[in-house]
Structures are given as C-alpha cells and as structure tokens.
Amino acid sequence: MVGIIVIIFLAAGIFFMSTGAIGLLRLPDFYTRLHATGKCDTLGEVLIITGLLIYHLFHYPETPLVPVKLLFLIVFIFLANPTATHAIMKAAYNTGVKPWKVGDKRM
Amino acid sequence: MREVFLVVGLLIAFTILLSLYRAAFGPGVFNRVAAVNVIGTKTIVLLVLIGYYFERPYFFDLSLLYALLNFIGTLIFAKYLERGEVWSG
C-alpha cells in the first residue's frame, strides 16, 4: 500500500520534470523556456522527494532524523528555485533580451 | 523498491540529457546559464535517489550541499551578466 503511494508520487514527479525538459527544448525564446522550467521542475522535485520521505518513514523507522534532512531540502528547493529563475530572468531583461512575439523567428 | 528507484533515476538522467542540448547549443549565454541551473536542480533529486538505491544516507548531505552551491552559483552568474562585475559597492 505504501509502495503504491510512493510510486504514484514518483510517477507524478517524473511527469512534471519531463514536461519541464520538453518545454526547455521546444519553446521559442528565453522567457518562455524559463517559464516552463521554473515551475515544472520545482513541483516535480518536491513531489519526488515527498515520495521518498514517505518511503523512508515506513521502511526505516529506526532513523527518524533523516527525513528532517529531506524536509529541509524541500523547503530550500521551494525557496531557492523560483528565486534563481527570477534573478536570471531579471538580469536578461535588464541587459536587453527582447521577448518573442508571434511571427518572429525562433531564438 | 530498488528497481523503481533505478528506473526513476534513469528517467531523470534522460531528462538531464535533454536539458544538456540547450546548455550546449542554446543561443546566447542566458539560455546556457538557465539550462545549467535546471541540470543542477535535477541533480539534487538524482543524488537523493542514488542514496536510496545504494542505501547510503550520506548522499542527502551531498544533495543539500549541491542545492546551496547551485543556488549561489546561479545568483552570482545573474549578477555578473547584468552588471559586468560581481562585487559592486
């Protein structure tokens, strides 16, 4: 039962991370690529680490302090990943990277 | 469950390979920095999965360290590309 829940979490995380990677490859310019990866990767990683945390709680109950590390990792990813995306996007906007419009060539 | 971790780790490695195309051929430096950031955040999850596959919890410390270094590196790259210098008073 716990295994099924863990597999559902891992599959959802893999789905979101694949969507982010495909968006990074397929979308036409820099801003839309970061729009795809900034959210999909954060959610996918948090889902995968949540599944592993549930697995650890039920399979290794003798070491209850290791999931705290994973909890720190989840909180840090939720804080840091959108911040890094925002910083690199603001730097690109201030240095004059133009957004893509309909009809332009793919950049 | 170890086979599941192996399959998920291989799929994450495949998405890293897809992102590596944008890091290698992406037009302009911003695409490359963004792709390197994406690869780093995928590597965090890959390290945690490796820790469960080999049943060694020390890899979680490595993934925490990698998360911190990736975040700081991306912020410094953004600041350098915007202003042309890292330390500005």
Which of A5, A15, A17 should be substituted to probe chain B, the one whose Cβ sees the most B Cβ atoms within 10 Å? A17
**Interface predicted TM-score (ipTM) of this complex, two decimals:** 0.86
Q: What pLDDT does A105 receive? A: 75
**Interface contact flag, A84 B27, Cβ < 8 Å:** no
Place of tokens 């990866």: A37
Q: What pLDDT does A96 receive? A: 82
**Interface contact flag, A95 B81, Cβ < 8 Å:** yes
For the residues B50-74, what does the mean pLDDT come to? Answer: 90
**Interface contact flag, B21 A25, Cβ < 8 Å:** yes
Read off the pLDDT band of B72 (50, 70, 90): very high
> What's the rounded Cα separation, in Å, for the pair A105 and A28?
8
Cβ neighbours around B87 below 10 Å, total:
7
For the residues A92-96, what does the mean pLDDT come to? Answer: 87
For the residues B32-61, what does the mean pLDDT come to? Answer: 90
For the residues A1-12, what does the mean pLDDT come to? Answer: 90
- Average pLDDT score, chain A: 89
B36 touches A35 (CB < 8 A): no
Q: What pLDDT does A27 receive? A: 86
Instruction: Tell me if the pTM is above 0.80.
Output: yes
A27 phi and psi, to 5 degrees? Answer: -75, 155
Residues of B in contact with A92 (CB under 8 A): 30, 81
Q: What pLDDT does B15 receive? A: 92
> What's the rounded Cα separation, in Å, for the pair B31 and A73?
26
